[in-house]
């Protein structure tokens, strides 16, 4: 392969991968203007990069169980800034979850806050009611976006 074709191929590959990475970090699928609350039992905590997932079984008024999936930030960020670790939640624990729902209407969303029966509260960046995605407003203090 000649050098020009190599350069074109590399550019095409990098362009494709960077688009995937950009799309991956979008929170456009969540309605961040809304906060919904559900109560249920922890099904699982997936302590993985690039984002953790919390799965919660929620019973409706008829006793039908639906498993909700809640996405949050990277384990390192939740550990460093919010005090989480991989043992913060245990399967079977009763929890109350505040989240920004999926725009699709599916069961789940962007995790805001989890309250446990013992009174502990697990927070995320989205626990702050002033948190918004996108560029910060000019003059916003210390990275807090208004």
Q: Identify the residue with better confidence: 3 or 115.
A: 115
Domain assignment present for residue 114? The answer is yes
Is residue 146 pLDDT above 80, yes or no? no
Total domains present in the chain: 1
pLDDT for 3: 64
Q: What is the distance, to the nearest Å, from the Cα of residue 108 to the centroid of all Cα atoms in its chain?
A: 10
Cα–Cα distances (Å) from 70 to 3, 51, 95, 111, 144, in that order, read 46, 10, 13, 5, 23
Is residue 80 pLDDT above 90, yes or no? yes
Indicate the pLDDT class of residue 140, thresholds 50, 70 and 90: very low
Domain assignment present for residue 6? The answer is no
Buried b (16+ CB within 10 A) or exposed e, 37-58: ebebebbebebeeebbebbbeb
User: Mean pLDDT throughout 57-62?
Assistant: 96
92 and 42 Cβ atoms separated by less than 8 Å: yes
User: Mean pLDDT throughout 53-74?
Assistant: 97
Domain assignment present for residue 80? The answer is yes
Question: Is residue 61 classed as helix, strand or coil in its secondary structure?
Answer: coil
Q: Indicate which CATH number applies to the domain containing 61.
A: 2.40.50.1010
Distance CA 109, CA 138 (A): 29
pLDDT in tens, 8-58: 555 555 554 444 444 456 778 999 899 999 999 999 999 999 999 999 999
Indicate the pLDDT class of residue 137, thresholds 50, 70 and 90: low
Q: What is the DSSP letter of 69?
A: E
User: Mean pLDDT throughout 51-69?
Assistant: 97
Domain around 40: 36-127
């Amino acid at each position: 392969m000649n050098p020009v074709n190599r350069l074109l191929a590399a550019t095409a590959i990098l362009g494709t991968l960077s688009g995937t990475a950009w799309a991956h970090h979008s929170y456009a699928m969540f309605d961040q203007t809304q906060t919904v609350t559900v109560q249920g039992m922890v099904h699982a905590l997936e302590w993985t990069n690039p984002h953790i997932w919390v799965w919660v079984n929620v019973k409706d008024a008829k006793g039908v169980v639906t498993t909700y999936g809640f996405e949050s930030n990277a384990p390192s960020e939740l550990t460093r800034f919010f005090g989480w670790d991989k043992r913060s939640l245990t399967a079977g624990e009763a929890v109350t979850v505040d989240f920004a729902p999926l725009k699709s209407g599916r069961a789940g969303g962007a995790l805001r806050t989890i309250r446990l029966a013992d009174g502990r509260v697990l927070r995320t960046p989205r626990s702050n009611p002033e948190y918004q995605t996108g560029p910060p407003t000019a003059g916003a203090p210390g990275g807090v976006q208004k």
